[in-house]
Chain A
């Protein structure tokens, strides 16, 4: 059925052009198609060429798929009027595009001499490793020179970062920071009518309006391409207009009708957004031809009459008619465009189908994330001069703290953030209650006062927005250090890390990156502040994300060195890193007895020694000479393990070696195995959920697969949410469990 409908739509256009008569009155190429529209005959012909090329690519995609040579048939057919935006916007207006953007990309490519958009698209359809954006990993619209970061876009998950980039343009102007974009650049973000209902989309619109309400410029142009249906479910008539035309801090424009009317409306929207720096919602009426994708059988939810009525709305047909009737073109000329374009696209498709594809796992993985440890260490060692640092800190140099000389984990993270913000002027710190209050645990106290509002600011209560801001600002050279108030709050925004931030390098062959260090306050064991939402111990979702790095410090001095390593890795290699801080240890002072101050540490000042920072693979070792048993843990579990180790030594003479894993992604397998084999017995103390893809599974599996003779056990938290009050102890790992596990494997 689908192929037939393709032929029907093609034939409709051909028939019209065959039978239409040229108007007696032809207009010159520089004349407007309609007075006052601003669209010249020549510009209209360029658009028509781009629209026909996009359509021919859609047809080629289906032909290649039919013969088993391409892998993607979601088309732009019916959406070709988005080419107008491609023509109107500048190359320094970044575009976050949804998947029906073929014509827009064709039009935008005209602005860059030497572009080959037809062949590039075909390479992408054929999953060729020569596809210049994703290298054969996905069919995405993207291009580094055209400033189009690739998007997955199907669930509107690109909208928050587009808002973030618009925010960055405005913020950079205030800070005098060079983003490489013009000061009057705007950001385009397109999506369909169906996905405008997605919570992530709503989050993006809301954030844009909220930021603008607070007095910040926010030059974003939301382009809603409304084809009236999402796969098989029709959007209620008038829904988009009703929803978005009456919102404050969001100017609504409607574009529909003839090509010149659409041009006029889109021009007005672009000009408004550029001039006023106000969130702008451009509602472009489109239609959808040939179903959602090649595999979508449209007749299961639409009648033939409905399908034919939609086909009659084909924008190519409408635009051809408009060009002929306005005198901008003769039917023969348009026929020639169609004939020439179809022929060259099909010929190019045959060539593209022969281009090489990715074959090996290593090839596929190669663009996931960069890693250059010497460069990272060298970057971390480029610290600010002692004089400058002394001037910043004054009397309060943290390593010179008087009473007590040692400080807590929270204090050291705070000091480290100060030093990092001085070392990296491009860093931004933001989150909920992060700036004015200094964080609910005081970890970011003093930063706003020291570094100013543009760099340290409070956000609205929405983790999706926080991570969107991080991505958007990172796209143009900022180094965001956002804070997620509680680990449990991250989960509703997790796709911003999984589907977006961490996939950017992968889908762009490393051409785009969004480096960031996301500080997350989390894990359990808080005294007097219980319940799941503030004591979440589920990290499986983070460890499941390809390329995401996860650091979990347990003590202050480690935290300083790990955070410095994380920021340097983000800066140098574009990495996305989560820095999970155990809340219960933030203000912990003691290790074994009340008042022993055993959990306080000296602040390690920034060092010019490249070896000073702690990167993945380097474990912390306690009792290095001990060999009776190894206890491997992290965060709260580490402190518990150290207490158990002393108790075992005192009570049973068992000398346990304890290691702090420090980085949970990637895990320090080599160091773990080395210590485990040196001791012959190992207990992994994993404070996270027992079956939540925690670290115990991975570590013990790795031992087992080696055929190691090390006797291994683990203790883990219950597969349960953390309850309120004293019942907490029933689900979390306790010292008794650790001790029992050790005793169980001792001879």
Chain B
């Protein structure tokens, strides 16, 4: 049995390629569909099984977020039967999944959290606009390029409070802002081509997550999600500030306050959470549940940033991934 740390993906992990991620007959799928019915929302199993990918429908936050949660939960639970999970972290939305994977919330409450937050964020986005953009911090070998960090600092400074850091993915920065702020960022940041992708670009149907621009979402969440039963986790949880919540000493009020407060309105440092998992738990493997493998690249870039097990470049990482002792195990492709 290996010691593993599970890293739950956030938005962006479910796409056309990941259609039909849900297994047939899994009780959690049925339960999720039941919870969706309570809110008059289409069944996830149907959305997942569709022959054609309708991005407007499937990438709508209220649909895609619970889909991601459900796939991640099923994958993580399966993996925990094989290995010893020693720490759980997540990226952005993945934090909610992490809470449930670690047992700080039960499946239903985790689902309710994800569902409600997706709706609140969507309503916020529709009413006030705003969103996220993606910009690389590394070069094609996944080594840090200080120039890009300076570009970001300079662009944010010029945004005059309309744009902020949102997520640190290690190799990429997710920046968020109002419509005005995003326009400024897109106009100010240099165009960078990495592989075949040109950056920066806007993440479709994403709000200005993890910034003060969505503080009203946190206010509403504290009202509507006051009934969630937070418990001490069964496995150590690492949040987007790098704080460890252990099964023994966790203050459940602090966990709730963070989840319905700072997690929503302050930058989410996914890279730091992975760093803490690596250094303080030293798992044999990092494991990313599905859907898809959207965290594979960012996690690889974080590993490079840490120089973990002598990995200092994309090429090193690929080499170690092809060995019989990969650092990262992605459960889906």
Contact = CB atoms under 8 A, between A and B. Distances in A.
Nearest to B240: A113
B272 A42 contact: no
Interface in B306-333: 307-310
Contacts of A119: 279-280, 282
B248 A344 contact: no
Interface string A521-542: 0000000000000000000000
A350 interface: yes
A69 to B, nearest CB: 15
A354 B243 contact: no
Interface in A40-69: 42, 45-46, 48-49
A116 B248 contact: no
B241 A344 contact: no
Contacts of B272: 114
B269 A114 contact: yes
B241 A113 contact: yes
A347 interface: yes
A336 interface: yes
B153 to A, nearest CB: 20
Interface in B226-248: 236, 241-243, 246-248
Interface residues of B, number: 27
Contact of A337 (B241, B248, B276, B282): B248
Interface in B8-63: none
Interface in A84-115: 113-115
Closest A-B pairs by Cβ, 9 of them? A114-B242, A119-B279, A347-B282, A348-B282, A113-B241, A116-B279, A45-B249, A46-B249, A113-B243
A347 B282 CA distance: 6
A29 interface: yes
A350 to B, nearest CB: 7
A29 B281 CA distance: 25
Contact of A354 (B242, B283, B310): B310
B251 interface: yes
B86 A45 contact: no
A49 B280 contact: no
B206 interface: no
Contacts of A48: 248-249
B3 interface: yes
B280 A116 contact: yes
Interface in A597-654: none
A344 B280 contact: yes
A329 interface: yes
A333 interface: yes
Most buried by A among B281, B282, B308: B282
B242 A42 contact: no
A348 B249 contact: no
A347 B275 contact: no
Given A114-B241, A343-B3, A354 B280 contact: no
Given A114-B276, A344-B282, A347-B282, A333 B248 contact: yes
A130 B306 CA distance: 10
B242 A329 contact: no
A347 B284 CA distance: 8
A118 interface: yes
B247 to A, nearest CB: 7
B86 A343 contact: yes
Nearest to B244: A110
A354 B309 contact: yes
A42 B310 contact: no
Contact of B283 (A42, A116, A336, A347): A347
A113 B267 CA distance: 13
A340 interface: yes
A397 to B, nearest CB: 45
A115 B272 CA distance: 9
Contact of B247 (A336, A344, A355): A336
Contacts of B242: 113-115
Contact of A329 (B248, B251, B280, B284): B248
A365 interface: no
A236 B281 CA distance: 43
Contacts of B251: 29, 42
A130 B282 CA distance: 16
Contacts, number: 70
B249 A347 contact: no
Given A116-B279, A118-B279, A344-B281, 18 more contacts: A29-B251, A29-B252, A113-B241, A114-B241, A114-B242, A116-B275, A117-B280, A130-B307, A336-B247, A337-B246, A337-B248, A344-B280, A344-B282, A347-B282, A347-B283, A347-B284, A351-B309, A354-B310
A351 B308 CA distance: 8
A348 B281 contact: yes
A339 to B, nearest CB: 11
20 contacts: A29-B251, A46-B249, A113-B242, A114-B241, A114-B242, A114-B276, A116-B276, A116-B279, A118-B279, A119-B279, A119-B280, A119-B282, A329-B248, A337-B246, A343-B3, A344-B3, A344-B281, A348-B281, A351-B282, A351-B309
Interface of B: 3, 86, 236, 241-243, 246-249, 251-252, 269, 272, 275-276, 278-284, 307-310
A326 to B, nearest CB: 15
Nearest to B271: A114
A114 B279 CA distance: 11
Given A45-B249, A354-B310, A348 B279 contact: yes
B86 A344 contact: yes
A672 B230 CA distance: 75
B159 to A, nearest CB: 25
A334 B309 CA distance: 32
A103 to B, nearest CB: 14
A643 to B, nearest CB: 59
Contacts of A350: 282
Contacts of B278: 351
Contacts of B275: 114, 116
B248 A347 contact: no
A65 B3 CA distance: 24
A45 B232 CA distance: 13
A111 to B, nearest CB: 11
Interface string A326-369: 00010001101100100110011011001100000000000000
A649 to B, nearest CB: 61
Contacts of A340: 86, 236
B331 to A, nearest CB: 22
Contacts of A29: 251-252
Given A45-B248, A333-B248, A347 B3 contact: yes
B200 to A, nearest CB: 26
A348 B282 CA distance: 5
Contacts of B307: 130, 355
Contacts of A49: 246, 248-249
A687 to B, nearest CB: 52
A48 B246 CA distance: 12
A333 B86 CA distance: 15
A125 to B, nearest CB: 14
A16 to B, nearest CB: 17
A130 B312 CA distance: 14
Nearest to A350: B282
Interface in A1-56: 29, 42, 45-46, 48-49
Contacts of B283: 347
Contacts of B252: 29
A711 to B, nearest CB: 55
Contacts of A120: 279
A113 B268 CA distance: 12
Nearest to A329: B248
A32 to B, nearest CB: 15
Contacts of A46: 249
A351 B306 CA distance: 12
B231 to A, nearest CB: 11
Nearest to A130: B307
A355 B312 CA distance: 12
Contacts of B3: 343-344, 347
A263 B246 CA distance: 22
